[in-house]
Amino acid sequence: MAAAKLHHVKSETFDVDARTNTDPKGFVRPVDEYRVEPWGLYMARPSDHPKFGYLESWLLPEQGLRASIFHFRPGFERDQDRYVDVGRFWADGSMWHSRDHYLDLVVRTGRDTTVEDVDELFAGVGAGLLEPEDAERAVHIALRAVDGIAAHGHDLDAWVSSLGMPLTWR
């Protein structure tokens, strides 16, 4: 196995009033749509990324998850329906925040759910970039999510809806 690519914990801000998203590199991106629900925040925005041109995400603080759909550019498509970041997500008034805890889930609806970047989690803890307690919480969140998604036919939306959080996408 190759060595994990070590990077700092990725943090983002989501300014609902200004309709902007500040990405982990500090770039401020315009947002087409924010939708605030009692249980989460939806965001839809264009992207200037070379591999995808549009991004939709739901921040789900109670679950410790960010579920996303990447609208890939031709030639860069991936075999995934939902990409899920594990982390900490919270609101402070109309400003929302995220702190990624390295682990990711890739959901292929109706087929499987895989956990990615376990090596990054360990590397981040080893380098002091993530507290061991946060890493342990991330593992518990990921395991609970994989169990829930699998129990609903590897359908993230069905699982989250069963928890009273219906996700709607563009």
Q: What is the CATH number of the domain that holds 152?
A: 2.40.380.10
The Cα–Cα gap between 84 and 59 comes to 10
Q: Does any domain span residue 24?
A: yes
Query: What is the value of pTM for the model shown?
Result: 0.94
Assigned token pair, 27: 């770039």
153 contacts: CB under 8 Å, gap ≥ 6: 109, 110
Tens-place pLDDT, residues 108-157: 999 999 999 999 999 999 999 999 999 999 999 999 999 999 999 999 99
The Cα–Cα gap between 170 and 155 comes to 17
Range of the domain at 93: 11-162
Q: Does any domain span residue 5?
A: no
pLDDT of residue 7 exceeding 90: no
DSSP 8-state assignment for residue 47: -
pLDDT of residue 101 exceeding 60: yes
Per-residue pLDDT at 5: 75
The Cα–Cα gap between 55 and 88 comes to 19
Per-residue pLDDT at 6: 83
- Label residue 3 by pLDDT band (50, 70, 90): low
